[in-house]
Amino acid sequence: MIELVGRQRNHFVWRPAIETFAEQIRYGPDSHASGWDLSPWVEIDPSVQFGTPVVRGTRVPVRTIAANLRAGTPEDVADWYGLTVQQVQGVIEYLALH
């Protein structure tokens, strides 16, 4: 563990956990965090849907895919939102892990 010194002393973190998390964050040219890659199929970008998890490269929220899978097949949902079946399957995989 390492100590992170901020407002209070004795805040400790487990370095491998922080490194893994940090690898998922994208940084812009100004070195500020610009997005978070949650999976190969899901991302968070503060400038897209107010930072809601979306299908990577789209504006389609993951929660919309999840809700619509109750009404249709992955093929149906892909067709309804202009996605590929592979994208919808990727969201299903992401949701299964979270």
Instruction: State the helix-helix crossing angle for 85-97 and 74-81, rounded to 10 degrees.
Output: 120
94 versus 7: which is more confidently predicted? Answer: 94
- 64, two tokens: 């919309």
The pLDDT value recorded for residue 49 is: 94
The pLDDT value recorded for residue 17 is: 60
Note the pLDDT tens digit of each residue in 41-79: 999 988 899 999 999 999 999 999 999 999 999 999 999
Answer whether residue 23 shows pLDDT above 60: yes
45 versus 16: which is more confidently predicted? Answer: 45
Please state the pTM of the whole predicted model.
Answer: 0.73
